[in-house]
Amino acid sequence: MNRSLFVLLVLLATSLMGSSFAVGKVGLSYVSPLLLVGIRFALAGGIMALAVRLQRRRLPDNLRDWTKLLLVGACQTTAVMGCIFLSMRSIPAGETSILTFMNPLFVVVLGVLFMRLQYRFHQWAGVVVGFAGVVVTLGSHMQLSTGTLLGLGSAIAWAIATLLVKKWGSGFDRWVLTAYQMLFGGLLLLVLACSMETPRLDLNWTSLGVILYLAILGSIVQFATWYYLLAKGDPGRTSAFLFLAPFFGALSGWLILGEVIRWYAYAGGLLIFVGIFLVNWTSRVTKN
């Protein structure tokens, strides 16, 4: 792939990932958290599911495979996005994005514990540096507020989803996997919105714009661009550029919301980015 095009697409994908935090926080003024993400992913997943059916892509033909898609959606969409949007009710969007994108560090730890994966020294060094970054990022918030715990929860859920996709993903068309995990995850979020919160939807041009931005640009375009990059380049090296996403998250929080990010959050964020870079730069792992 042309290097200029690669850089452009990386910036597009990671900026959409990061800006979704700030745009989503704007939406929380008009829509309750779980309902907002439920609408976002049910709409995005529904559009993509229709597209893959029109393209006649191979769908699962048994209950076991559909259940796998449901479990991936429950982790990747329901748990991750539910934690993110609930977290942003009490901590800045930039801080939530930094905590969420710790997920590659948790992938290493959980991969060793549950999938017997082995990693090189510099990847373990990345985990240590990354966790040190979290400690620095939290700064005076070391009492671990509910918002902070939810931010960490989103990273852990994302790591679990990553390992599930690593284990099961080869058995699915990647566009079918993406579409139906979003659809199922979004539907589960709508169920949770009706059972765990008092649903609130103040429909106006701003809230409609937020929903469409999150569903179309922040979900469909983002996923399509990112999966294209992963398919065209080395997945490990491409994934290293995920460290740009929390940068764009903090930047958009400052531009859109006027959030003030303390110096220790920037210092900790830098350590987290370095840790993620070390973990992802070499992707080869082996099993015992």
Q: Determine what percent of the chain is predicted with pLDDT higher than 70.
A: 88
What pLDDT score was predicted for residue 70?
95
Phi and psi, residue 142, nearest 5°:
-65, -10
DSSP, collapsed to helix, strand or coil, labels residue 271 as helix
171-206 pLDDT per residue, tens:
888 889 889 999 999 999 999 999 988 899 999 999
What pLDDT score was predicted for residue 233?
66
In the block, tokens 């792992």 appear at: 285
Q: C-alpha 17: how far from its chain's center? A: 7
- Least confident residue range of 67-81, 119-133, 156-170: 119-133
How many residues in total does the chain contain?
288
CA atoms of 155 and 133, how far apart (whole Å): 14
The tokens of 279 are what? 């973990």
Among 47, 38, 75, which Cα is nearest to 197's?
A: 38
CA atoms of 288 and 284, how far apart (whole Å): 14
What is the value of pTM for the model shown?
0.81
Helical residues (DSSP H) of the chain, grouped into ranges: 3-27, 33-54, 63-73, 80-87, 93-100, 103-115, 121-138, 146-168, 174-196, 205-212, 222-232, 235-239, 244-257, 263-281
In the block, tokens 């390992």 appear at: 163
